[in-house]
């Protein structure tokens, strides 16, 4: 692999190098050349200085000699002609200076060492946790020194316990916080790392809360910068301990067009769980996250208290959440009523004709519902067609979009005001 290929493989773009960096590197390189030439003149008589394979020199650009060795290696010979390095050859060094893919670099700061003329002569890796190391950090020195240091660096081990895998495991898998005090968990940790320090439940709680507030801040910033609207789902349920809980989840499309779902709030929700109480809590949460103008729709389960919460929220959130035709609500109530037991389902026709049945629709409402169904049915079919996963959907796109446009235009011309509004 030559230098170009190596750089391509590293995903490095040559054009990204700034001129200043290039000039600085040229100066470093000039210094190296002078130094190597000098050292070569002093030891030119020894035959091992002669490069046995000059072709290799072209393929592998010159690198600075390692500190431990004398400068009489292959690099010295390649510079015998005193030629200046090409831009391509500099590139490899810049890859070494700039591109750090190894995760160890999260824990080391790269400190450049400069000479009297303010020219960078070497790079050093200093541990961010103990500030005690001084390893060479040019790309070709590798990362084994740094990795070995982390294994024995006590501040790093402490940091790892505070910020790392244990908190993630607890938060993502929902382990009880008391797991850190469990006898056999501690035994396992000791087996993996004999130097591990055991922590208490209160400590891990504190660390988890710290991590939580950090993540909340990040999510807040993400939502603030979001271009798309946010849809919410809200769920209330009673746990086996008979305490009520409320969860508010946001669903949105991020800048990379990926659908994201994030739990915004999860909290204890004591009775009474009336519509007004839910509204007050949910609206406070929405306000807290700065989402008042970004909510597109909200999905809740079919509890009656939610029915009274939604209109209250609608008043507050101007955008989104459009009015639902009362006839549709009646149809939903009917479905809810007959769905709740098999006996009701069987006798639906009988009691629907009774005069005191609550969810009865007038002829006008039936007509409205039928119109709406005829408009919405093609969209339902289109959605099903597009969401198929075992056949290609791209070829169906144009035809279905045309159909959608046709149906929307038909809806705009409808006599029913509600359908006209939907079409618009």
> Nearest approach, Cβ of 158 to Zn ion (angstroms)?
11
H or E element: which one contains 5? helix 3-9
Is the Cβ of residue 94 or residue 127 nearer to Zn ion in the bound state? 127
Nearest to 145 by CA among 155, 132, 157, 158: 132
Could you tell me which residues come within 8 angstroms of residue 1 by beta carbon, excluding any fewer than 6 positions away? 9
> Nearest approach, Cβ of 139 to Zn ion (angstroms)?
21
Q: Is 317 in the site for Zn ion (CB under 5 A)?
A: no
Q: Which window, 87-95, 145-153, 194-202, 258-266, contacts Zn ion (CB under 5 A)?
A: 145-153
Residue 35 near residue 119, CB atoms below 8 Å: no
> Nearest approach, Cβ of 41 to Zn ion (angstroms)?
41
Cβ neighbour number for residue 58 with a 10 Å cutoff: 11
> In sequence order, what are the beta bridge partners of 210?
none
> Nearest approach, Cβ of 246 to Zn ion (angstroms)?
44
Residue 293 near residue 318, CB atoms below 8 Å: yes
> Nearest approach, Cβ of 34 to Zn ion (angstroms)?
36
Is the Cβ of residue 129 or residue 294 nearer to Zn ion in the bound state? 129
Is the Cβ of residue 158 or residue 301 nearer to Zn ion in the bound state? 158
d(CA 266, CA 236): 10
Total residues contacting Zn ion (rule CB under 5 A)?
Answer: 4
Q: Is 268 helix (H, G, I), strand (E, B) or coil?
A: strand
Q: Which window, 20-28, 123-131, 199-207, 386-394, contacts Zn ion (CB under 5 A)?
A: 123-131
Q: Is 124 helix (H, G, I), strand (E, B) or coil?
A: strand
Q: Which window, 29-37, 125-133, 134-142, 349-357, contacts Zn ion (CB under 5 A)?
A: 125-133
Is the Cβ of residue 160 or residue 303 nearer to Zn ion in the bound state? 160
> Nearest approach, Cβ of 153 to Zn ion (angstroms)?
3
Q: Which window, 80-88, 130-138, 170-178, 214-222, contacts Zn ion (CB under 5 A)?
A: 130-138
> Nearest approach, Cβ of 135 to Zn ion (angstroms)?
11
Is the Cβ of residue 129 or residue 407 nearer to Zn ion in the bound state? 129
- How would you classify the pairing of strands 230-238 and 295-300? parallel
Is the Cβ of residue 63 or residue 129 nearer to Zn ion in the bound state? 129
Residue 150 near residue 107, CB atoms below 8 Å: yes
d(CA 341, CA 418): 32
Nearest to 207 by CA among 159, 162, 158: 162
Instruction: Candidates 6, 57, 130, 316: give the one binding Zn ion (CB under 5 A).
Output: 130
Is the Cβ of residue 153 or residue 291 nearer to Zn ion in the bound state? 153
> Nearest approach, Cβ of 256 to Zn ion (angstroms)?
35
Q: Is 129 in the site for Zn ion (CB under 5 A)?
A: yes
Q: Is 153 in the site for Zn ion (CB under 5 A)?
A: yes
Instruction: Candidates 17, 25, 97, 127: give the one binding Zn ion (CB under 5 A).
Output: 127
Is the Cβ of residue 158 or residue 339 nearer to Zn ion in the bound state? 158
Nearest to 379 by CA among 356, 403, 360: 403
Is the Cβ of residue 115 or residue 158 nearer to Zn ion in the bound state? 158
Nearest to 352 by CA among 338, 366, 332: 338
3-class SS string, 367-412: HHHHHHHHHHHHHHHHHHHHCCCCCCCHHHHHHHHHHHHHHHHHHH
> Nearest approach, Cβ of 162 to Zn ion (angstroms)?
15
> Nearest approach, Cβ of 128 to Zn ion (angstroms)?
8
Total residues found in the chain within this entry: 424
Q: Which window, 34-42, 119-127, 203-211, 294-302, contacts Zn ion (CB under 5 A)?
A: 119-127
Residue 193 near residue 157, CB atoms below 8 Å: yes
Q: Which window, 152-160, 265-273, 288-296, 350-358, contacts Zn ion (CB under 5 A)?
A: 152-160
Q: Which window, 46-54, 121-129, 239-247, 314-322, contacts Zn ion (CB under 5 A)?
A: 121-129
Is the Cβ of residue 130 or residue 312 nearer to Zn ion in the bound state? 130
What is the separation of C-alpha 365 from the centre of its chain, rounded to a whole number of angstroms?
A: 47
d(CA 74, CA 63): 9
76: exposed, middle or buried (Cβ count in 10 Å: 0-12, 13-18, 19+): buried
Q: Interface residues with Zn ion (CB under 5 A)?
A: 127, 129-130, 153
């Amino acid at each position: 692999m030559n230098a170009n290929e190596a750089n391509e493989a590293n995903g490095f773009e040559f054009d990204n190098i700034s001129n200043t960096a290039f000039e600085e590197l040229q100066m470093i390189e000039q210094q190296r050349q002078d130094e190597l030439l000098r050292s070569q003149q002093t030891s030119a008589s020894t035959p091992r200085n002669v490069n046995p394979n000059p072709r290799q020199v072209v393929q592998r650009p010159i690198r600075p000699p390692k500190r431990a060795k004398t400068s009489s290696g292959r690099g010295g010979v390649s510079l015998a002609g005193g030629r200046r390095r090409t831009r391509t050859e500099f590139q490899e060094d810049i890859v070494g200076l700039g591109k750090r893919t190894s995760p160890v670099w999260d824990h080391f700061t790269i400190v450049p060492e400069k000479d009297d003329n303010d020219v960078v002569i070497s790079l050093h890796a200093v541990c961010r946790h103990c500030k005690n190391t001084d390893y060479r950090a040019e790309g070709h020195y590798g990362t084994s020194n740094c990795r070995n240091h982390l294994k024995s660096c006590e501040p790093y081990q402490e940091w790892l316990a505070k910020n790392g895998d244990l908190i993630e495991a607890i938060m993502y898998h929902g382990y009880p916080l008391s797991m850190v005090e469990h006898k056999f968990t501690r035994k396992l940790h000791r087996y993996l790392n004999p130097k591990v320090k055991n922590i208490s439940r209160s400590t891990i709680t504190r660390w988890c809360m710290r991590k939580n507030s950090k993540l909340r801040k990040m999510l807040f910033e993400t939502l603030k910068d979001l271009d798309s609207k946010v849809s919410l789902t809200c769920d209330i349920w009673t746990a086996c301990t008979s305490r009520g809980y409320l969860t508010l989840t946001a669903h949105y499309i991020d800048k990379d067009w990926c659908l994201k779902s994030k739990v915004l709030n999860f909290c204890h929700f004591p009775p009474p769980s009336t519509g007004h109480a839910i509204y007050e809590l949910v609206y406070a949460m929405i306000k807290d996250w700065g989402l008042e103008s970004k909510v597109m729709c909200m999905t809740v389960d079919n509890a009656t208290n939610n029915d009274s919460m939604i209109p209250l929220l609608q008043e507050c959130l101007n955008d989104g959440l459009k009015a639902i035709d009362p006839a549709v609500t009646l149809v939903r109530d009917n479905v809810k009523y007959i769905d709740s037991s098999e006996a009701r389902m069987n006798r639906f026709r009988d009691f629907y004709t009774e005069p005191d049945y609550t969810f009865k629709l007038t002829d006008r409402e039936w007509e409205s519902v039928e119109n709406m169904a005829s408009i919405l049915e093609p969209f339902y079919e289109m959605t099903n067609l597009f969401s198929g996963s075992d056949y290609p959907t791209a070829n169906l796109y144009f035809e279905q979009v045309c159909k959608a446009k046709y149906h929307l235009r038909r809806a705009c011309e409808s006599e029913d005001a509600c359908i006209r509004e939907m079409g618009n």
